[in-house]
Chain A
């Protein structure tokens, strides 16, 4: 009889077995998740401006593996060539609260896949869909929009700010807010 509570307690430990789910065999490069995104709150007809199609956002948000993989890809594919370590260089900063093309995961995926005017290249057909999503969650984690427990930790090399998981979350401003340098007296 005394054994029963012990066995039940042991059973609870099974809950820890599957902390995170991910596909080990990812989709080929040509496959794309067709999330419908919008930069305005208006849409024609009865459909809402944003629609979830593949549901990937839910499996990627807060997933430690995808976040850390995104961090590797960020350097591998030379995102830091323009955006530096998130502070921005010839490209806009990624760690502030200013989102020119939307802060949602779907928006960022679209930005990476389609490219944006004034320099952001399109990565369509060059990166597998899952890697684009991984990059997008990492970009979101830079401004503290991903859970601290999952965000990747400090870099081995120089970093202008504390690690992502120690950053306070900044609430996104749709359409972007003027940066401090723009509001300062000229």
Chain B
């Protein structure tokens, strides 16, 4: 009975093998080659482990006569023993060399570089991701946060940087992890072979809210991606109705403007995420909350309860102003 419970419980972790954030459910060349490498290692090492355990079992079961001298050498068996040991040592060397070879062959692909691809700079902050899309034309660059949209089936180059401590960029379904290190730039290329939303997470402990530092990769067809890009390049749309107009006034008179920027207005803070098109994002607070009206209001009222230690301070805002402010931010599509 107990065995059954244990065996059922041991199946539970398998649920983690599928889904939008899994190194075993891969949709990009980088992650796929790592996955293959993982299975090769797992297979060979399982065989080695089973053989070792069998050998140990045989040794444990073997009975030795207490009377005979343990150091006595049987001349007839000595030659066989030498051969067996030599064969096993040789096999071990071949296995280790083979594993090293596989490792080299697959990992080499991870660092292949293609020219003239979409380049995105991803900067890790405590505890969110700043995403800068680069372009040869300066007026076609733009900044967003915690959400990276990429065209499907194309390699994309990511320049990884950090502003405060070491972070690590990891989207398990698309690519292996790579550190964001303050003062230097690491480069990786990733590609999504299938449309969809993939989740990534900071993979290097970076402080109190390390666990709440996620980002989404949205892979979509080229045409859709270009539409999205053009929409993101545009300045913020001016507030359309009365509530949004008054909400904009609340935004400009409150502490929001110290840190956040809304392109097309005088708000130009560089400390927090760019809010120019915050209404079009899927999540808030680096993948912590769904982007809904209620969550947005909750986050503004008390960010320190949702992500204690975050740099966004508490501000006392009356309910009417909050309602207007949320209307304004929601309208920033």
List B contacts of A72 (CB < 8 A): 164
CB contact between B316 and one of A30, A77, A127 (< 8 Å): that residue: A30
Chain B CB within 8 A of A12 CB: no
Q: Is the CB of A156 within 8 A of B255?
A: no
Chain A CB within 8 A of B315 CB: yes
Chain B CB within 8 A of A125 CB: yes
Q: Is the CB of A125 within 8 A of B258?
A: no
**Mask: chain B, 242-261; 1 = CB below 8 Å from A; 0 = not:** 00000000000011011100
Which residue in chain A gives the minimum CB-CB distance to B271?
A76
Say whether, besides A27-B314, A28-B314, A156-B183, A126 and B304 are in contact (CB < 8 Å). no
Q: Is the CB of B313 within 8 A of A26?
A: yes
Which secondary structure dominates where chain B touches chain A?
Answer: loop
The docked-state distance in angstroms from the alpha carbon of A37 to that of B271 is 31
Chain A CB within 8 A of B101 CB: no
Chain B CB within 8 A of A58 CB: no
Chain A CB within 8 A of B309 CB: yes
Chain B CB within 8 A of A128 CB: yes
Name the distance in Å between A11's Cβ and chain B's nearest Cβ.
Answer: 29
Chain A CB within 8 A of B153 CB: no
List A contacts of B257 (CB < 8 A): 126
Q: Is the CB of B308 within 8 A of A26?
A: no
Q: Is the CB of A29 within 8 A of B308?
A: no
Which residue in chain A gives the minimum CB-CB distance to B270?
A76
Which residue in chain A gives the minimum CB-CB distance to B163?
A72
Chain A CB within 8 A of B239 CB: no
Chain B CB within 8 A of A6 CB: no
List A contacts of B258 (CB < 8 A): 77, 126-127
Say whether, besides A127-B255, A127-B258, A29 and B315 are in contact (CB < 8 Å). yes
Q: Count residues of B near A (Cβ-Cβ below 8 Å).
A: 17
The docked-state distance in angstroms from the alpha carbon of A25 to that of B305 is 9
Which residue in chain A gives the minimum CB-CB distance to B304?
A25
Q: Count residues of A near B (Cβ-Cβ below 8 Å).
A: 17
Q: Is the CB of B314 within 8 A of A128?
A: yes
Name the distance in Å between A104's Cβ and chain B's nearest Cβ.
Answer: 25
Q: Is the CB of A28 within 8 A of B183?
A: no
Name the distance in Å between A166's Cβ and chain B's nearest Cβ.
Answer: 21
List B contacts of A29 (CB < 8 A): 255, 313-316
Chain B CB within 8 A of A131 CB: yes
Q: Is the CB of B314 within 8 A of A126?
A: no
Which residue in chain B gives the minimum CB-CB distance to A72?
B164
List B contacts of A128 (CB < 8 A): 255, 313-315
Q: Is the CB of A76 within 8 A of B313?
A: no
Say whether, besides A76-B271, A127-B255, A156-B183, A25 and B308 are in contact (CB < 8 Å). yes
Name the distance in Å between B256's Cβ and chain A's nearest Cβ.
Answer: 9
Which residue in chain B gives the minimum CB-CB distance to A130?
B313
List A contacts of B259 (CB < 8 A): 76
The docked-state distance in angstroms from the alpha carbon of A22 to that of B183 is 29
**Mask: chain A, 10-46; 1 = CB below 8 Å from B; 0 = not:** 0000000000000011111111000000000000000
CB contact between A28 and one of B164, B182, B270, B313 (< 8 Å): that residue: B313
The docked-state distance in angstroms from the alpha carbon of A156 to that of B181 is 13
Which residue in chain B gives the minimum CB-CB distance to A28?
B314
The docked-state distance in angstroms from the alpha carbon of A127 to that of B182 is 27
**Docked complex: A72-94 residues within 8 A CB-CB of B:** 72, 76-77
The docked-state distance in angstroms from the alpha carbon of A156 to that of B304 is 29
Q: Is the CB of A30 within 8 A of B315?
A: yes
The docked-state distance in angstroms from the alpha carbon of A148 to that of B32 is 52
Most chain A CB atoms below 10 A, which of B164, B257, B258, B271: B258
Name the distance in Å between A118's Cβ and chain B's nearest Cβ.
Answer: 22
**Docked complex: B166-182 residues within 8 A CB-CB of A:** 182
Q: A25-B314, A76-B270 are in contact. List 12 more A-B contacts (CB 8 A).
A: A26-B313, A26-B314, A30-B315, A31-B316, A76-B271, A77-B271, A125-B255, A126-B258, A127-B313, A128-B255, A128-B313, A156-B183
Measuring CB to CB, which residues of chain A are less than 8 angstroms from any residue of chain B?
Answer: 24-31, 72, 76-77, 125-128, 131, 156
**What are 16 inter-chain pairs, A to B, with CB distance below 8 A?**
A25-B304, A25-B308, A25-B314, A26-B313, A26-B314, A27-B314, A29-B255, A29-B314, A30-B316, A76-B259, A76-B270, A77-B258, A127-B258, A128-B314, A128-B315, A131-B313
Closest 7 CB pairs between A and B? A28-B314, A29-B315, A128-B313, A76-B271, A28-B316, A30-B316, A29-B255
